[in-house]
Structure 1
Amino acid sequence: MVYTNEEIEQQLFILFRRSQAIHVSTKSGDFELDRSIYGILCLLDDEGPMRLGAIAHRFRLDPSTITRQVQAVIRLGLAAKRVDPTDRRAAILNLTPLGEETIAQARAHRRQVLYSILGNWSETQRWEFLAALRRFNNTVDGWIEPDDPISSAD
């Protein structure tokens, strides 16, 4: 079967629209996490404390946009800023214990939803889907910024 760019674009849009339906919340429902807060918490959980500029770079967003999003994370008590000991003019964002617990619960919830969605798929089908997603994401990263060390690290 040959896939056209039009069909691929349509399926990507459907994937994007349906992925929004996977609600981001903690198991207890204590927090309703919007996409930007969830993304910041996941990044800090995966990679540890980071400067705000590094977070902006990772998401390929303007630093002012990240600053607004980070303020929401701090307001909720999910992360805290501290002075960067290597450059006192810069701030480092790190998860608070509440942030660590919240992101663990939210990720567990999302993974359970994915398990329900993909429950009838064979292990081989899930591995093939994962491999295709990785390849697509790596290709997009290379297309966005071919010389970016972040793109080649993912």
Structure 2
Amino acid sequence: MDMDGEERIAAPRDVVWAALNDPEVLRQCIPGCQSLEMKSPTELTAAVKLKIGPVSANFTGDVTLSDVNPPESYTISGEGKGGIAGFAKGSAQVNLVEDGAETLLRYNAKAQVGGKLAQLGSRLIDSSSQKLAKQFFSDFNAAVVAKYGAA
């Protein structure tokens, strides 16, 4: 499944870039995130607890940043295993565009699921994925403004 979106953030691009690379900000914004730790400047490990339809699962996995072009863009990709629930993997190309004192965060995400999750049907998976993405970017926007005191 593919998802595109855009979020206008009331903060300069360098502030938004810093937040996109701050594990504490990301941990607060990722729905169901139990932990997120930086292993290196481009590698993180995560634990996430999610409920999609009737399936609840604890996912653990690795997240990698690539094609890093500060403060404009990067690709974030990851794969998580959820035991009998299955797996989820995906990536997102994130671009930051200056717009006066604000920043437009644009993303193009691709995701794949397998196991029990895949049996739920593509409509439920697609709608849940879009809801989770919108929640993340809305929470990220609020966290940037709260943490960095953006205007």
The TM-score with structure 2 as length reference comes to 0.31
Higher RCO (CA-CA < 8 Å; seq separation 6+): 2
Whose helix fraction is larger, Structure 1's or Structure 2's? Answer: 1
The TM-score with structure 1 as length reference comes to 0.31
Whose strand fraction is larger, Structure 1's or Structure 2's? Answer: 2
